[in-house]
Amino acid sequence: MRADNIEIDELSDADHAALSAVRKRQGAMLERVTAWSAINTGSWNADGLNAFAPLLAKAFGETDADVTLLDTTPIETITDKAETRGFQSGPVVRAQARPDAPLQVVMTGHYDTVFPKGTFEAIKDLGGGKLNGPGLADMKGGITVMIEAIKAFEAGPMKGKLGYTVVLSPDEETGNFASAPHIKAAAEGAHIGLTFEPAMEDGSLAGARKGSAVYDIIFHGKSVHAGREPENGRSAIWAAAEFALAIETLNGQRDGVTFNVGSINGGGAVNIVPELGIVRMGVRAPDGPSADWADASVRAAFDKACQRPDIHGHVHGGFYRPPNPATRRKTN
Protein backbone atom coordinates (compact mmCIF):
# COMPACT_ATOMS: atom_id res chain seq x y z
CA MET A 1 0.00 0.00 0.00
CA ARG A 2 1.19 3.49 -0.82
CA ALA A 3 0.30 6.95 0.51
CA ASP A 4 1.38 9.96 -1.56
CA ASN A 5 4.03 7.83 -3.30
CA ILE A 6 5.61 6.82 0.01
CA GLU A 7 5.59 3.20 1.10
CA ILE A 8 3.72 2.87 4.39
CA ASP A 9 6.50 0.74 5.84
CA GLU A 10 8.98 3.55 5.11
CA LEU A 11 7.33 5.79 7.70
CA SER A 12 9.31 6.34 10.87
CA ASP A 13 8.15 5.53 14.37
CA ALA A 14 7.49 9.24 14.88
CA ASP A 15 5.33 9.27 11.74
CA HIS A 16 3.29 6.31 12.95
CA ALA A 17 2.87 7.99 16.35
CA ALA A 18 1.60 11.17 14.71
CA LEU A 19 -0.90 9.26 12.58
CA SER A 20 -2.09 7.33 15.59
CA ALA A 21 -2.61 10.54 17.55
CA VAL A 22 -4.72 12.02 14.76
CA ARG A 23 -6.86 8.87 14.52
CA LYS A 24 -7.58 9.03 18.24
CA ARG A 25 -8.77 12.62 17.81
CA GLN A 26 -11.29 11.79 15.08
CA GLY A 27 -14.33 12.06 17.33
CA ALA A 28 -13.19 15.38 18.78
CA MET A 29 -12.43 16.68 15.29
CA LEU A 30 -15.93 15.80 14.09
CA GLU A 31 -17.49 17.42 17.13
CA ARG A 32 -15.50 20.60 16.57
CA VAL A 33 -16.20 20.97 12.87
CA THR A 34 -19.95 20.37 13.23
CA ALA A 35 -20.13 22.99 15.99
CA TRP A 36 -18.23 25.41 13.78
CA SER A 37 -20.46 24.67 10.80
CA ALA A 38 -23.51 25.65 12.84
CA ILE A 39 -22.17 29.23 13.01
CA ASN A 40 -22.97 31.17 9.86
CA THR A 41 -19.88 32.84 8.46
CA GLY A 42 -21.13 33.98 5.07
CA SER A 43 -18.65 36.34 3.43
CA TRP A 44 -20.96 39.32 3.94
CA ASN A 45 -22.07 38.37 7.47
CA ALA A 46 -19.76 40.60 9.48
CA ASP A 47 -21.37 39.66 12.81
CA GLY A 48 -20.87 35.96 12.15
CA LEU A 49 -17.27 36.39 11.00
CA ASN A 50 -16.36 38.50 14.03
CA ALA A 51 -18.03 36.02 16.39
CA PHE A 52 -16.25 33.04 14.85
CA ALA A 53 -12.71 34.43 14.62
CA PRO A 54 -12.08 34.25 18.41
CA LEU A 55 -13.08 30.56 18.35
CA LEU A 56 -10.38 29.95 15.76
CA ALA A 57 -7.88 31.86 17.87
CA LYS A 58 -8.77 29.69 20.86
CA ALA A 59 -8.38 26.50 18.81
CA PHE A 60 -4.94 27.50 17.53
CA GLY A 61 -4.04 28.28 21.11
CA GLU A 62 -3.81 24.49 21.52
CA THR A 63 -0.64 24.61 19.38
CA ASP A 64 2.72 26.25 20.10
CA ALA A 65 1.77 29.27 17.98
CA ASP A 66 1.32 32.87 18.99
CA VAL A 67 -2.15 33.81 17.71
CA THR A 68 -3.19 37.29 16.57
CA LEU A 69 -6.41 38.68 15.14
CA LEU A 70 -5.45 41.22 12.48
CA ASP A 71 -7.84 43.98 11.46
CA THR A 72 -8.59 44.28 7.75
CA THR A 73 -9.29 47.28 5.57
CA PRO A 74 -12.85 47.68 4.21
CA ILE A 75 -13.67 45.93 0.94
CA GLU A 76 -14.87 48.25 -1.82
CA THR A 77 -18.29 47.22 -3.12
CA ILE A 78 -20.78 48.62 -5.62
CA THR A 79 -24.36 48.95 -4.39
CA ASP A 80 -27.46 48.43 -6.54
CA LYS A 81 -27.54 52.22 -6.91
CA ALA A 82 -23.96 52.24 -8.29
CA GLU A 83 -22.62 53.81 -5.11
CA THR A 84 -19.22 52.78 -3.79
CA ARG A 85 -19.35 51.46 -0.25
CA GLY A 86 -16.84 49.89 2.09
CA PHE A 87 -17.70 46.58 3.77
CA GLN A 88 -15.79 45.83 6.96
CA SER A 89 -15.09 42.10 6.99
CA GLY A 90 -13.84 40.06 9.91
CA PRO A 91 -10.21 39.84 11.04
CA VAL A 92 -7.45 37.72 9.58
CA VAL A 93 -6.43 34.98 12.01
CA ARG A 94 -2.64 34.56 12.13
CA ALA A 95 -0.86 31.84 14.09
CA GLN A 96 2.95 31.81 14.08
CA ALA A 97 5.50 29.50 15.69
CA ARG A 98 9.30 29.27 15.58
CA PRO A 99 9.91 32.06 13.03
CA ASP A 100 13.67 31.55 13.34
CA ALA A 101 13.63 27.84 12.43
CA PRO A 102 15.65 26.91 9.31
CA LEU A 103 12.58 25.69 7.39
CA GLN A 104 9.47 27.87 7.17
CA VAL A 105 6.01 26.77 6.06
CA VAL A 106 3.04 29.03 5.34
CA MET A 107 -0.41 27.48 5.65
CA THR A 108 -3.44 29.32 4.32
CA GLY A 109 -7.17 28.88 4.49
CA HIS A 110 -10.42 30.75 4.99
CA TYR A 111 -13.30 30.71 7.41
CA ASP A 112 -15.94 32.45 5.33
CA THR A 113 -18.51 30.50 3.30
CA VAL A 114 -20.65 31.33 0.27
CA PHE A 115 -23.90 30.95 2.23
CA PRO A 116 -25.57 34.17 3.47
CA LYS A 117 -27.14 34.26 6.90
CA GLY A 118 -30.46 32.43 6.86
CA THR A 119 -29.52 30.05 4.02
CA PHE A 120 -28.26 26.45 4.21
CA GLU A 121 -27.66 26.33 7.94
CA ALA A 122 -28.79 22.76 8.71
CA ILE A 123 -26.34 19.90 9.07
CA LYS A 124 -27.67 16.63 7.65
CA ASP A 125 -26.41 13.10 8.19
CA LEU A 126 -26.40 11.47 4.75
CA GLY A 127 -25.42 8.08 6.12
CA GLY A 128 -22.34 6.06 5.31
CA GLY A 129 -20.15 8.39 7.34
CA LYS A 130 -21.10 11.45 5.26
CA LEU A 131 -22.38 14.76 6.57
CA ASN A 132 -23.72 17.71 4.62
CA GLY A 133 -23.47 21.22 6.01
CA PRO A 134 -22.14 24.72 5.31
CA GLY A 135 -18.37 24.86 5.44
CA LEU A 136 -17.92 21.29 6.69
CA ALA A 137 -15.33 20.65 3.97
CA ASP A 138 -14.69 24.10 2.51
CA MET A 139 -13.16 24.85 4.75
CA LYS A 140 -13.84 24.55 8.44
CA GLY A 141 -13.02 20.89 7.98
CA GLY A 142 -9.74 21.88 6.36
CA ILE A 143 -8.89 24.15 9.28
CA THR A 144 -9.66 21.33 11.71
CA VAL A 145 -7.30 19.03 9.81
CA MET A 146 -4.67 21.76 9.83
CA ILE A 147 -4.85 22.20 13.60
CA GLU A 148 -4.64 18.49 14.33
CA ALA A 149 -1.75 18.01 11.89
CA ILE A 150 0.18 20.81 13.60
CA LYS A 151 -0.50 19.37 17.05
CA ALA A 152 0.64 15.91 15.93
CA PHE A 153 3.81 17.31 14.38
CA GLU A 154 4.64 19.41 17.42
CA ALA A 155 4.38 16.33 19.62
CA GLY A 156 7.22 14.73 17.63
CA PRO A 157 11.01 15.16 17.65
CA MET A 158 11.35 17.38 14.56
CA LYS A 159 9.41 20.48 15.55
CA GLY A 160 12.50 22.55 16.35
CA LYS A 161 13.60 22.36 12.72
CA LEU A 162 10.39 23.82 11.30
CA GLY A 163 8.51 27.05 11.84
CA TYR A 164 5.17 28.02 10.39
CA THR A 165 2.72 30.84 9.83
CA VAL A 166 -0.98 30.19 9.43
CA VAL A 167 -3.15 32.83 7.75
CA LEU A 168 -6.92 32.35 7.73
CA SER A 169 -8.98 34.79 5.64
CA PRO A 170 -12.52 36.08 6.24
CA ASP A 171 -13.02 36.91 2.55
CA GLU A 172 -11.66 34.16 0.31
CA GLU A 173 -15.01 33.47 -1.31
CA THR A 174 -15.24 37.10 -2.44
CA GLY A 175 -11.67 37.62 -3.64
CA ASN A 176 -9.29 38.06 -0.68
CA PHE A 177 -9.39 41.82 -1.18
CA ALA A 178 -9.05 42.48 2.56
CA SER A 179 -6.73 39.62 3.44
CA ALA A 180 -4.33 39.62 0.45
CA PRO A 181 -1.67 41.85 2.12
CA HIS A 182 -1.50 39.51 5.11
CA ILE A 183 -1.20 36.43 2.88
CA LYS A 184 1.58 38.06 0.86
CA ALA A 185 3.47 39.09 3.99
CA ALA A 186 3.31 35.55 5.37
CA ALA A 187 4.46 34.01 2.08
CA GLU A 188 7.60 36.12 1.86
CA GLY A 189 10.51 34.00 3.03
CA ALA A 190 8.52 30.78 3.27
CA HIS A 191 9.99 27.61 1.74
CA ILE A 192 6.73 25.67 1.43
CA GLY A 193 3.12 26.78 0.97
CA LEU A 194 0.10 24.63 1.83
CA THR A 195 -3.60 25.38 1.48
CA PHE A 196 -6.08 23.10 3.21
CA GLU A 197 -8.93 23.27 0.71
CA PRO A 198 -10.83 19.98 0.24
CA ALA A 199 -9.50 17.44 -2.25
CA MET A 200 -11.24 16.41 -5.45
CA GLU A 201 -14.07 13.88 -5.20
CA ASP A 202 -11.67 11.04 -6.01
CA GLY A 203 -9.21 12.17 -3.34
CA SER A 204 -6.68 13.74 -5.70
CA LEU A 205 -5.23 17.20 -5.13
CA ALA A 206 -5.63 20.17 -7.45
CA GLY A 207 -2.43 20.86 -9.38
CA ALA A 208 -3.57 24.10 -10.99
CA ARG A 209 -6.00 26.91 -10.40
CA LYS A 210 -7.74 29.14 -12.89
CA GLY A 211 -7.51 32.87 -12.50
CA SER A 212 -10.69 34.55 -11.27
CA ALA A 213 -12.21 37.91 -12.14
CA VAL A 214 -15.27 39.71 -10.84
CA TYR A 215 -16.75 42.69 -12.62
CA ASP A 216 -19.47 45.21 -11.82
CA ILE A 217 -20.30 46.87 -15.15
CA ILE A 218 -22.24 50.10 -14.66
CA PHE A 219 -24.35 51.71 -17.38
CA HIS A 220 -26.05 55.09 -17.19
CA GLY A 221 -28.75 56.14 -19.63
CA LYS A 222 -31.32 58.92 -19.79
CA SER A 223 -34.48 58.69 -17.72
CA VAL A 224 -37.77 60.02 -19.08
CA HIS A 225 -41.47 59.17 -18.76
CA ALA A 226 -42.01 56.06 -20.87
CA GLY A 227 -45.53 57.07 -21.88
CA ARG A 228 -45.01 60.74 -22.70
CA GLU A 229 -41.62 60.93 -24.41
CA PRO A 230 -39.98 57.50 -24.71
CA GLU A 231 -38.07 58.57 -27.82
CA ASN A 232 -36.06 61.03 -25.71
CA GLY A 233 -34.92 58.37 -23.21
CA ARG A 234 -32.06 55.88 -23.32
CA SER A 235 -32.52 52.65 -21.40
CA ALA A 236 -29.52 51.61 -19.33
CA ILE A 237 -31.16 48.20 -18.94
CA TRP A 238 -31.16 47.83 -22.72
CA ALA A 239 -27.43 48.58 -22.81
CA ALA A 240 -26.81 46.20 -19.92
CA ALA A 241 -28.79 43.43 -21.62
CA GLU A 242 -26.97 43.98 -24.91
CA PHE A 243 -23.66 43.77 -23.06
CA ALA A 244 -24.75 40.59 -21.21
CA LEU A 245 -25.69 38.87 -24.47
CA ALA A 246 -22.33 39.80 -25.97
CA ILE A 247 -20.55 38.38 -22.95
CA GLU A 248 -22.38 35.05 -23.12
CA THR A 249 -21.35 34.62 -26.77
CA LEU A 250 -17.69 34.67 -25.67
CA ASN A 251 -18.07 31.26 -24.00
CA GLY A 252 -16.38 28.59 -26.10
CA GLN A 253 -14.22 31.02 -28.06
CA ARG A 254 -11.04 30.21 -26.10
CA ASP A 255 -10.19 26.94 -24.36
CA GLY A 256 -10.71 26.99 -20.62
CA VAL A 257 -12.10 30.53 -20.44
CA THR A 258 -15.61 30.86 -19.03
CA PHE A 259 -17.87 33.88 -18.59
CA ASN A 260 -20.91 34.02 -16.34
CA VAL A 261 -23.36 36.90 -15.98
CA GLY A 262 -24.68 36.56 -12.45
CA SER A 263 -27.22 39.37 -12.36
CA ILE A 264 -28.54 42.54 -13.95
CA ASN A 265 -29.76 45.23 -11.58
CA GLY A 266 -31.41 48.59 -12.20
CA GLY A 267 -34.55 50.32 -13.19
CA GLY A 268 -37.73 50.73 -11.20
CA ALA A 269 -41.20 51.83 -12.21
CA VAL A 270 -42.41 50.41 -15.52
CA ASN A 271 -43.45 53.86 -16.74
CA ILE A 272 -39.92 55.27 -16.41
CA VAL A 273 -37.10 54.57 -18.86
CA PRO A 274 -34.33 53.19 -16.60
CA GLU A 275 -31.32 55.42 -16.09
CA LEU A 276 -29.19 52.78 -14.37
CA GLY A 277 -28.18 49.23 -15.23
CA ILE A 278 -25.55 47.13 -13.47
CA VAL A 279 -24.22 43.83 -14.76
CA ARG A 280 -22.42 41.64 -12.20
CA MET A 281 -20.33 38.88 -13.73
CA GLY A 282 -17.42 36.52 -13.23
CA VAL A 283 -14.68 35.15 -15.47
CA ARG A 284 -12.29 32.21 -15.13
CA ALA A 285 -9.13 31.80 -17.23
CA PRO A 286 -6.46 29.06 -17.16
CA ASP A 287 -3.37 31.15 -17.93
CA GLY A 288 -2.06 34.69 -18.26
CA PRO A 289 -2.66 35.20 -22.00
CA SER A 290 -6.19 33.86 -21.63
CA ALA A 291 -6.86 36.22 -18.74
CA ASP A 292 -5.60 39.17 -20.81
CA TRP A 293 -7.84 38.11 -23.70
CA ALA A 294 -10.85 37.75 -21.40
CA ASP A 295 -10.34 41.18 -19.82
CA ALA A 296 -9.90 42.82 -23.22
CA SER A 297 -13.05 41.08 -24.47
CA VAL A 298 -15.11 42.34 -21.52
CA ARG A 299 -13.93 45.89 -22.08
CA ALA A 300 -14.54 45.71 -25.83
CA ALA A 301 -18.12 44.54 -25.21
CA PHE A 302 -18.58 47.41 -22.77
CA ASP A 303 -17.25 49.96 -25.26
CA LYS A 304 -19.61 48.66 -27.94
CA ALA A 305 -22.63 48.88 -25.62
CA CYS A 306 -21.69 52.49 -24.83
CA GLN A 307 -21.80 53.50 -28.49
CA ARG A 308 -25.52 54.19 -28.13
CA PRO A 309 -26.34 57.90 -27.74
CA ASP A 310 -26.62 59.06 -24.13
CA ILE A 311 -25.22 55.77 -22.76
CA HIS A 312 -22.09 55.87 -20.64
CA GLY A 313 -20.64 54.11 -17.61
CA HIS A 314 -17.56 52.37 -16.29
CA VAL A 315 -16.03 48.97 -15.60
CA HIS A 316 -15.33 48.15 -11.96
CA GLY A 317 -13.18 45.15 -11.08
CA GLY A 318 -11.10 42.66 -13.01
CA PHE A 319 -8.82 39.70 -12.27
CA TYR A 320 -8.22 39.70 -8.54
CA ARG A 321 -6.63 36.23 -8.48
CA PRO A 322 -4.14 35.44 -11.28
CA PRO A 323 -4.05 32.04 -12.99
CA ASN A 324 -1.79 29.44 -11.41
CA PRO A 325 -1.23 26.81 -14.11
CA ALA A 326 0.47 23.54 -13.24
CA THR A 327 4.17 23.58 -14.10
CA ARG A 328 6.76 20.82 -14.13
CA ARG A 329 10.03 21.69 -12.45
CA LYS A 330 13.03 21.25 -14.72
CA THR A 331 15.77 18.93 -13.47
CA ASN A 332 19.25 18.36 -14.85
Residue 238 lies in a domain: yes
Q: What is the dihedral of CA 136, 139, 141, 143, to 10 degrees?
A: -150
Model's pTM, two decimal places? 0.84
Cα 261 from Cα 215, distance rounded (Å): 9
| Nearest alpha carbon to residue 114 among 184, 172, 54 | 172
**Do 27 and 154 belong to one domain?**
yes
Residue 205 lies in a domain: no
Picking from 169, 195, 221, the residue at the C-terminal end of a domain is 195
Give the domain extent around 47.
2-195
For the chain, counts of helices (H) and of strands (E): 7, 15
| CA atoms lying within 13 Å on the CB side of residue 261 | 19
Residue 326 lies in a domain: no
> Number of folded domains in the chain?
2
Residue 308 lies in a domain: yes
Burial class of residue 118 in the structure, from the number of CB atoms within 10 Å of its CB (0-12 exposed, 13-18 middle, 19+ buried) = exposed
Crossing angle of helices 46-60 and 26-37, in 10° steps, is 160
**Do 8 and 46 belong to one domain?**
yes
**Do 190 and 314 belong to one domain?**
no
Picking from 195, 226, 250, the residue at the C-terminal end of a domain is 195
**Do 101 and 171 belong to one domain?**
yes
Residue 203 lies in a domain: no
**Do 73 and 179 belong to one domain?**
yes
Instruction: Using DSSP, state whether 65 is helix, strand or coil.
Output: coil
Q: What is the pLDDT along the chain (332 residues), one digit of tens a residue?
A: 344 444 556 888 888 888 888 899 999 999 999 999 999 999 999 999 999 999 999 999 999 999 999 999 999 999 999 999 999 999 999 999 999 999 999 999 999 999 999 999 899 999 998 999 999 999 999 999 999 999 999 998 889 999 999 999 999 999 899 999 999 999 998 999 999 888 877 888 777 789 999 999 999 999 999 888 888 889 999 999 999 999 999 999 999 999 999 999 998 899 999 999 999 999 999 999 999 999 999 999 999 999 989 999 999 999 998 898 877 655 44
Picking from 195, 225, 256, the residue at the C-terminal end of a domain is 195
Taking a C-beta distance cutoff of 8 angstroms, is the pair 213, 319 a contact? Answer: yes
**Do 301 and 175 belong to one domain?**
no
**Do 184 and 228 belong to one domain?**
no
**Do 43 and 187 belong to one domain?**
yes
Cα 90 from Cα 15, distance rounded (Å): 36
Angle, vertex CA 209, rays to CA 203 and CA 215, nearest 5: 130
Residue 171 sits in a domain whose CATH number is 3.40.630.10
Cα 283 from Cα 251, distance rounded (Å): 10
**Do 231 and 114 belong to one domain?**
no
**Do 61 and 183 belong to one domain?**
yes
Residue 202 lies in a domain: no
Q: What is the dihedral of CA 106, 143, 5, 10, to 10 degrees?
A: 90
Cα 19 from Cα 330, distance rounded (Å): 33
**Do 255 and 161 belong to one domain?**
no
Q: What is the dihedral of CA 145, 151, 156, 162, to 10 degrees?
A: 90
**Do 104 and 216 belong to one domain?**
no
Residue 328 lies in a domain: no
Residue 224 lies in a domain: yes
